[in-house]
Amino acid sequence: MQFTIFFIVNPNANSGKTKLNWVKKTLPLIQHNFEQAAWIFTEKEKEASFYAFYAKKCGYKTVVAVGGDGTVNEVVNGLLGNPLVFLEDFQHRIHGYLLLDNNIENNIPTFACLPMGTGSDFIRSLGIPIQLNKAIHILKNNKSIYCDVGVIENIDVTNSKNIRYFINIGGAGASGEVAQRVNLSHKRLGKNGTYIFAAVQTLLKNNHFPVQITYDDEAPFEIDLRVIFICNGRYCGGGMEVSPYSQLNNGFFQIIQVREMNKLKSIYLTKRLYSGNFSGLEKDFILRTAKKIKIIPLKNSLIPIECDGEQPFFAPVIFSIQAQKLNVIADLK
Ligand SMILES: Nc1ncnc2c1ncn2[C@@H]1O[C@H](COP(=O)(O)OP(=O)(O)OP(=O)(O)O)[C@@H](O)[C@H]1O
């Protein structure tokens, strides 16, 4: 079956290796397998969100993020009508099969990922393998599921409201600090090394964050927070299965809320995040589900928010889930 497909390639993903990989290995396979394929390289951060927004407007049936979780997040935002930048005079950089203003019904295209990132955590919950041949085979099969999507609303100091969608894992506190460190680094330590280095730096700092949290319509409470993971997908941090019970289409988040603790204990317990096994740790780790989470900083604390491995803003924020919002190519049994 043939369908129109638009690839948004982040040449900078995986420490810049994606450009060569795309030109030498991936593009020939794409041209062989898809007759109606177009593609574009991003030139700067946030651009992928705009190209996804544009591809939707043109009426492409499928839009593919080629890169890591940052590219995935940007493309998801663009497809859901939240481009993070606006661009002009870019059309001459699109290669391949061109469509123009074809989407009168304003349908949201099917979303797909070709994993080429440093961590590429989201694809693990979709059953998409890292091997290029197999991932392209799954893309061609066009089997999909309707995934839930998270949305984060933030009010900044100028009182303007910002939103950012996420599809894998969001959070606050230490996970936001790690995301900030990973993205400021050059990722030269490779997939796992980059995350481990950022995680160790964060652990050694052992910051904690006084906050007020409200789950759904429950009463608000105050806590000295170390980290909270708000999970749609199962993996983050380059392969850490923090939330083994998450399902992408069940309509709620799986939450892991961790309170402040001393440095030694924190270092000792971090390995539990890799397995998502928190049994016996009920005093420090709260596991639960929710559809909406409000986080308000107390005592002027600056609380970094994480969103699919990016760190777009600081609390106060409201996380909420939009059930089965986006059709996504997957290979789930
Ligand atoms: N042409 C570009 N030049 C520089 N940065 C870019 C470019 N295009 C996109 N970016 C930015 O690169 C960042 C990292 O991309 P991405 O997350 O896809 O790869 P990664 O970091 O290798 O993978 P992962 O997040 O899965 O570990 C994103 O925040 C994105 O905004």
How many distinct structural domains can be found in the chain?
2
Q: Do 222 and 276 have their domain in common?
A: yes
Q: For 61-98, how does the pLDDT look when each residue is reduced to its tens digit (9 = 90+)? A: 999 999 999 999 999 999 999 999 999 999 999 999 99
End-of-domain residue from the set 142, 164, 193:
142
pLDDT of 239 reads 85
Confidence of residue 231 (pLDDT cuts 50, 70, 90): very high
* Ligand 1 mean position, distance from CA 74 (Å): 10
Whether the pLDDT of residue 222 is over 70: the answer is: yes
| Interatomic CA distance for residues 134 and 128, integer angstroms | 8
Residues 6+ apart with CB under 8 A from 112: 62, 63, 64, 65, 139, 328, 329
Chain mean pLDDT for the chain = 92
330 in a structural domain: no
* Ligand 1 mean position, distance from CA 65 (Å): 11
Residues 6+ apart with CB under 8 A from 243: 169, 229, 231, 233, 234, 254, 256, 276
122 in a structural domain: yes
Which CATH number does the domain housing residue 98 bear?
3.40.50.10330
Q: Do 303 and 224 have their domain in common?
A: yes
Q: Locate 173 and state its tokens.
A: 């506190």
* Ligand 1 mean position, distance from CA 12 (Å): 6
- Report the amino acid identity of residue 30: I
331 in a structural domain: no
Q: Do 228 and 105 have their domain in common?
A: no
End-of-domain residue from the set 120, 142, 164:
142
Q: Do 66 and 120 have their domain in common?
A: yes
132 in a structural domain: yes
Q: Do 170 and 273 have their domain in common?
A: yes
329 in a structural domain: no
283 in a structural domain: yes
Minimal-distance CA residue to ligand 1 atom 30: 45
Q: For 263-299, how does the pLDDT look when each residue is reduced to its tens digit (9 = 90+)? A: 888 877 777 887 888 888 888 889 999 999 999 999 8
Q: Do 162 and 245 have their domain in common?
A: yes
Q: Do 113 and 21 have their domain in common?
A: yes
Q: Do 135 and 168 have their domain in common?
A: no
* Ligand 1 mean position, distance from CA 309 (Å): 10
Q: Do 18 and 119 have their domain in common?
A: yes
224 in a structural domain: yes
Q: Locate 258 and state its tokens.
A: 């961790």
pLDDT of 187 reads 64
Q: Do 172 and 126 have their domain in common?
A: no
Nearest in space to 254 (alpha carbons), one of 273, 229, 285, 277: 229
pLDDT of 189 reads 67
Minimal-distance CA residue to ligand 1 atom 31: 45
Which CATH number does the domain housing residue 311 bear?
2.60.200.40
Q: Is 149 exposed, middle or buried (0-12, 13-18, 19+ CB in 10 A)?
A: buried
Residue 266 has a CB neighbour count (10 Å cut-off) of 20
317-329 and 285-290: which strand pairing?
Answer: unpaired
Q: How many CA atoms lie within 13 A of 47 on its CB side?
A: 20
147 in a structural domain: no
Q: Do 11 and 115 have their domain in common?
A: yes
Minimal-distance CA residue to ligand 1 atom 3: 44
Q: Is 160 exposed, middle or buried (0-12, 13-18, 19+ CB in 10 A)?
A: exposed
End-of-domain residue from the set 111, 142, 173:
142
Q: What does the pLDDT average to over 215-225?
A: 97
Residues 6+ apart with CB under 8 A from 116: 10, 13, 14, 17, 18, 21, 22, 26, 66, 67, 68
Q: Do 16 and 124 have their domain in common?
A: yes
Tell me the residue range of the domain where 254 lies: 153-322
194 Cα nearest atom in ligand 1: 27
Q: Please give the C-alpha separations between residue 260 and each of 68, 78, 237, in angstroms, as whole numbers.
A: 31, 36, 20
Report ipTM for this prediction.
Answer: 0.95
